[in-house]
Amino acid sequence: MPLTARGAVGGLALAGAGALAWASLVEVRWYTLREVTVPVLPPGQDPLRILHLSDLHLTPGQHRKIDWVRDLASLDPDLVIDTGDNWAHLEAMPALLEALEPHLAKPGAFVMGSNDYVAPSAKNPARYLLPDARLPRRPQAAELPWRELAARFRAAGWKDLTNRRDTIDVDGRRISLVGVDDPHLELDRFPARAASDAPTGETTLRAGTDADLHLGVAHAPYRRVLDEMQDDGADLVIAGHTHGGQLAVPFFGALVTNCDLDRGRAKGLHGWPGARPDSPGGAGSTWLHVSAGLGTSPYAPVRFACRPEATLLTLVPA
């Protein structure tokens, strides 16, 4: 091999090793808070602040993540939304409750993700780059104590939106909520409206419940679920699951979303199904916020060009 070729190969190998070291030792623990403004409230209302937590994939011993999540309580949000995949270890309950303890004192709502039900397992890392990285559920997979976790969330006053609807009063206004179980496992069953909630001549649930805001909540932002929530009149849909792609290319973005959502909406605030609602031609759209989440599977502990995140959504009048 000529010297120039060997030098190029050596340079590529060195760059690859450096990128892997950055992704596995630095960026995966480089937590950041995103702050996003959503113009969605009725005219004249004061701002409403929602802390969106997702995909912690917490394991025992992740003390820095626990402390960082706890410190988010200093933001003093009006509402906390947890979109699942909270843990990744059979013995993670004490660590998770320590991380979420100050947030459970706030009004909140939650749905579960696939890794709330069963512990993650080792698999070929190359599967992550497939359009659908799912594997058949293994009968021997370790079931996590998700029933106890859901019971603790409900006991704290958080609304369980597992294929159900609910309402919550926050800061002097009523919010209607609709949620589904994890679409990634195809557990979603979109809940029907009660007859008393049926709108009369309008398309939003607000017309039937006198709610100031209608939120949709899901773990994985599959298109079928986003369409159902948009048809249901959701003003804002909140989801996680994608990890923002987890591995991204600068100036290109996410490589995959691990669902059928397009790569351009792997994280952040967007309109659904088309343009943003405040853009020309955006009539009929709803807002969609997808969190890149705070963790990874313990079997793929890397992030590149996609920092782990939580989001403070500030809702303001449209």
Going from the C-alpha of 82 to that of each of 52, 88, 195, 285, 306, the distances in angstroms are: 6, 16, 28, 23, 20
Calpha distance 214→109 (Å, rounded): 13
The answer to whether the beta carbons of residues 58 and 88 sit under 8 Å apart is yes
What per-residue confidence (pLDDT) applies to 7?
52
Neighbours of 122 (CB within 10 A): 9
Length in residues, the chain: 318
The answer to whether the beta carbons of residues 174 and 78 sit under 8 Å apart is no
Regarding pTM above 0.85, the answer is: yes
What per-residue confidence (pLDDT) applies to 313?
98
Locus of tokens 């998770």: 96
CATH superfamily label, 31-121+142-317? Metallo-dependent phosphatases (3.60.21.10)
Q: Give the strand pairing for 48-53 and 108-110.
A: unpaired
Calpha distance 225→270 (Å, rounded): 15
Q: Which amino acid is at 172?
A: G
The answer to whether the beta carbons of residues 176 and 165 sit under 8 Å apart is yes
Residues with Cβ < 8 Å from 19, sequence gap 6 or more? 304
| Half-sphere exposure at residue 35, Cβ-oriented, CA atoms within 13 angstroms | 5
The answer to whether the beta carbons of residues 236 and 226 sit under 8 Å apart is no
Going from the C-alpha of 149 to that of each of 61, 183, 267, the distances in angstroms are: 19, 19, 26
What per-residue confidence (pLDDT) applies to 160?
98
What per-residue confidence (pLDDT) applies to 129?
59
| List of E strands, the chain | 32-41, 48-53, 79-82, 108-110, 159-160, 165-170, 173-179, 213-217, 236-239, 248-249, 253-254, 268-272, 286-290, 309-317
Spans of the chain, pLDDT less than 70 = 1-18, 123-140, 195-209, 275-284
pLDDT, tens digit, 9 for 90 and up, residues 148-207: 999 999 999 999 999 999 999 999 999 999 999 999 999 999 999 876 554 443 334 443
The answer to whether the beta carbons of residues 287 and 278 sit under 8 Å apart is no
φ and ψ at residue 18, rounded to 5 degrees:
-65, -40
What per-residue confidence (pLDDT) applies to 142?
86
